[in-house]
Amino acid sequence: MTPPGADLTVGDEVVVDVGPVAHGGHCVARHEGRVIFVRHTIPGERVRARITEGGEGDRFLRADAVEILTASEHRVPVRCPVAGPGLCGGCDLQHVSTAHQRVLKAEVVAEQLSRLGRVDREVVVEPLADEDGLRYRTRVEVAVGEGGGSPFVGLRRHRSHDLVPIEDCPIAHPRVGEGIAAAAEDARGRELTGIAAVDVVAASAEEDVVLVEVPADGRTERITVRERVATRAGERELTVDARGFWQVHVDAPRAFVEAVLEAAAIEPGDRVLDLYAGVGLLSLPLAEATGPDGQLIAVESDDLALAHLEANLAAQPQALAVAGRVDDLLGVPRKSRRRDKRSRPPARSHLLPPTADVIVLDPPRTGAGRGVVEALVAMRPRCLVYVACDPAALGRDTGTLGELGYELRGLRALDAFPMTHHVECVATFEPPSGRP
């Protein structure tokens, strides 16, 4: 017997009542027992949803809301002409008031911590300095395409390689907006032949916007830009590759440095680890906080970022930049590594100390993982500060830390990506006594 709703397929439309927000920029709805993740909705709405992915046998379906039958009080007109079903996939929450976006993100963080981390905690997402969620992004990559015989620059549709042409982006910093317009003009003039994408970068310590042309093979000219970060603890200037990783919200570098320094509570003479350090946004102020009698060890695996990290820490004799993957240096076997009875786990690097007073880590979206977390706890830090870009990864690693005796003592959630479902968290973990 075919279960109810099993015959739904791509293109079908159904009327559904929208349930809670879910991690990933959509809300949960059900139709005759089938779970449907519906974009462009708000909990409590009634919508007509068009199936965009999935079919018989799939655990769930994906859909877009193509008609709002009963609207939420928090629904607002979208602030971008290419935001909506079938259009640009960059902004999930353009249709939600900026204040309520933060409420929804807080619900997601709290749910992931409870379900995966077994920690119940009220979460408040803090706004950063932006124009009501607009004009904050200092880096945007636009792809180069051609339609109807006319070249253009654009952004990709949701879960697609297809492009939506643009002349501007409402979440882009005004200087980046000017750069996008210039790239669009270059495309129309056929000056981007052979170019797959253009990175538009407005670095805070540079007068001019940088446009980095990316050929199809990805090999670009290396351009160094300077970023200035002004915090309560002072102003610092760092170098970074124009295409390298840097927090894209114009206010995020300041907010992250201040949040981490407050959470870490570094004391002069401390030994501090900064893992997944990048170019040293956190490493430099952490090194300064340890003082001449302390030690800061920063770990980074990307060669280009490492070169900038070393340069940015050059004036701090108590700081050491270490090249390598965090898991490898800690002696943690990689999950993807094929092993047999003759293989051995990687040896723990002698460059990492056996103990540390404070550990700061900013892992990739997949999180640190059990092996790395266990190795860090074995170093017996009095405080572990975890910067997380993914609530699910934070939830999983929170659960592991709890099993090992480290409690979640502090949490700040920062709205570093307004108009999208992304949220950044700074979580502080300590053993019950303050020292294991």
HSE of 75 in the Cβ direction (CA atoms, 13 Å)? 16
The single residue listed with the structure tokens 């293989």 is: 343
Residue 44 φ then ψ, to 5°: 95, -10
Question: Residues 171, 173, 178, 179: what is their CA dihedral angle, to the nearest 10 degrees?
Answer: -90
Query: Quick one: which of 278, 258, 288 has its CA closest to 385?
Result: 258
389 included as an active-site residue: yes
Give the span between the Cα atoms of 163 and 250, in whole angstroms: 26
Considering 91, 383, 389, 425, which one is annotated as catalytic?
A: 389
Give the span between the Cα atoms of 204 and 172, in whole angstroms: 14
Cα end-to-end span (Å), the chain = 58
Residues serving a catalytic function are 389
